[in-house]
Amino acid sequence: MASSRSISIIFFIYTIILSSSSINCKGNNNNLVTNQTALFVFGDSLFDAGNNNYIDTTFRSNFWPYGQTTFKFPTGRISDGRLIPDFIAENAWLPLIPPNLQPSNSNNQFTYGVSFASAGAGSLVETFPGTVINLGTQLNSFMNVERMLRSELGNAEVKKIFSRAVYLFHIGGNDLFYPFSANSSLFQSNSIEKFVDFVIGNTTSVIKQVYKMGGRKFGFLNVGAYDCAPGASILDRTNIGSCFKPVTELVDLHNKKFADALSRLQRELSGFRYALHDYHTSLLERINNPSIYGFKEGKKGCCGSGPLRGINTCGNRMGQSFELCENVTDYLFFDSTHLTEKAHRQIAELIWNGPPNVTGPYNLKALFEFN
Ligand SMILES: *[C@@H]1O[C@H](CO)[C@@H](O)[C@H](O)[C@H]1NC(C)=O
Ligand SMILES: *[C@@H]1O[C@H](CO)[C@@H](O)[C@H](O)[C@H]1NC(C)=O
Ligand SMILES: *[C@@H]1O[C@H](CO)[C@@H](O)[C@H](O)[C@H]1NC(C)=O
Ligand SMILES: *[C@@H]1O[C@H](CO)[C@@H](O)[C@H](O)[C@H]1NC(C)=O
Ligand SMILES: *[C@@H]1O[C@H](CO)[C@@H](O)[C@H](O)[C@H]1NC(C)=O
């Protein structure tokens, strides 16, 4: 207890230093608060900047060598360094977006945005129940932030912040994987089609709620090719290194239905604008052709053990030993399922600037520029 408190205090001080230095290096931003377009982040480990440090869970990576690049400190981000939202924030001239659960002494630390993302989270309450902050609970936290901001800044200001803000989501992958790691009666008693509809139905209800609260600009990543990550590609022992087929089918179905659901939302909700990045394609491209993108390894993790370092022992998780690569910039994957900072930077660039066949109908830069 005492030691976890001191860790969070150190973490807190550290991020203050980091965010103020990031403001300083951008210069001239003393009145960021009043005019900046905020960034609110929802999702899973791809985006979790440390929320899971504050809940009772084993889905946590706040220990070395996580954070070895850039932060030189294990912030809870499941990577060697920065995540996609960190690069998006940088492009948008925002400071690092703080995790919702991070303690703070500043009243309006959330006016640039907040991250609600939680490693392991899905849209379904049935996905890793009790050990993650699922998407519905993330929405509830956003409603709490709304109440807090209203009492500090007034309704009109909050309305302005929310309608200008960008809401970034990556969710669904854990829902599709969960039935292969535990018994899921929801999965077992429904068709694949129906199960995927539940995932997307729960995601779209949250999107609609955020829209109701004033959100107009949304960024989405479809579910990445995690069926081909080191962790998944060792599941079939007879075919090590190949994508894990049972999940491939679910991911493909999900991504097709998700794109359809978003274009339906755009027709239904007036003023709803979105960017959908085809993360599945951009990740798979890098797994299959690493050298084109400056990586030496697309299929093997930098940190972990066993074949392809696909066993998730990175950082001595559960007391098991692990290997750590010498040069992380050679690798697409940092651990069995999570990317390196270098990979995150590339994907963030595609989300920010991508042409419409990569990120569309808008890219994130365009969404930030709308008033
Ligand atoms: C902030 O917005 C106001 C109008 O809402 C505008 O007059 C002012 O120039 C803006 N300031 C900055 C720093 O962009
Ligand atoms: C699923 O349930 C069966 C029977 O209850 C049990 O034998 C099996 O270990 C369970 N599988 C997982 C992954 O929990
Ligand atoms: C959300 O998921 C639950 C299962 O957790 C399902 O019963 C419900 O129908 C889903 N909601 C939508 C709108 O699809
Ligand atoms: C790591 O790899 C990158 C790219 O392959 C190279 O530029 C860099 O010099 C290497 N760093 C070290 C310490 O070997
Ligand atoms: C997007 O379109 C460009 C040409 O406009 C093409 O070179 C590129 O391969 C396309 N990317 C994808 C992912 O389809």
Per-residue model confidence as pLDDT tens digits over 112-158: 999 999 999 999 999 999 999 999 999 999 999 999 999 999 999 99
Ligand nearest to the CA of 37: 1
CATH of the domain at 248: 3.40.50.1110
Q: Is residue 209 part of a domain?
A: yes
The per-residue pLDDT for 234 is: 96
pLDDT band at residue 105 using 50, 70 and 90 as cut-offs: low
- Assess whether 282 carries a catalytic annotation: no
The per-residue pLDDT for 4 is: 40
What is the residue-averaged pLDDT of the chain? 90
Distance, in Å, from the CA atom of 37 to the CA atom of 236, rounded to the nearest integer, reads 45
Q: Is residue 26 part of a domain?
A: no
Burial profile 316-348: b = 16 or more Cβ within 10 angstroms, e = fewer: ebeeeebebbeebebbbbbbbbbbbbbbbbbbb
The DSSP symbol for 339 reads B
Ligand 4, residue 328: give the atom nearest the CA.
Answer: 1
Ligand 1, residue 35: give the atom nearest the CA.
Answer: 1
**pLDDT beyond 90 at 36:** no
The per-residue pLDDT for 28 is: 38
Query: Total structural domains in the chain?
Result: 1
Nearest alpha carbon, ligand 3 atom 6: 198
**pLDDT beyond 70 at 108:** no
Ligand 5, residue 357: give the atom nearest the CA.
Answer: 1
- Assess whether 338 carries a catalytic annotation: yes
Distance, in Å, from the CA atom of 293 to the CA atom of 285, rounded to the nearest integer, reads 9
The per-residue pLDDT for 12 is: 37
Q: Is residue 84 part of a domain?
A: yes
Among 254, 277, 280, 338, the one annotated catalytic? 338
Q: Is residue 210 part of a domain?
A: yes
Nearest alpha carbon, ligand 5 atom 13: 358
What crossing angle do the helices spanning 84-91 and 341-353 adopt, rounded to 10°?
A: 50
Q: Is residue 25 part of a domain?
A: no
The per-residue pLDDT for 317 is: 86
Q: Are the C-beta atoms of 363 and 310 separated by less than 8 Å?
A: no
Quote the pTM value.
Answer: 0.89
Distance, in Å, from the CA atom of 295 to the CA atom of 328, rounded to the nearest integer, reads 9
Q: Is residue 161 part of a domain?
A: yes
**pLDDT beyond 70 at 43:** yes
Q: Which domain holds residue 294?
A: 4-19+31-369
Distance, in Å, from the CA atom of 286 to the CA atom of 299, rounded to the nearest integer, reads 9
Ligand nearest to the CA of 294: 4
Q: What is the mean pLDDT of residues 261-286?
A: 98
Does the C-beta of 136 come closer than 6 Å to ligand 3?
Answer: no
* 357 Cα: distance to centroid of ligand 4 (angstroms): 32
Strand partners, 40: 167
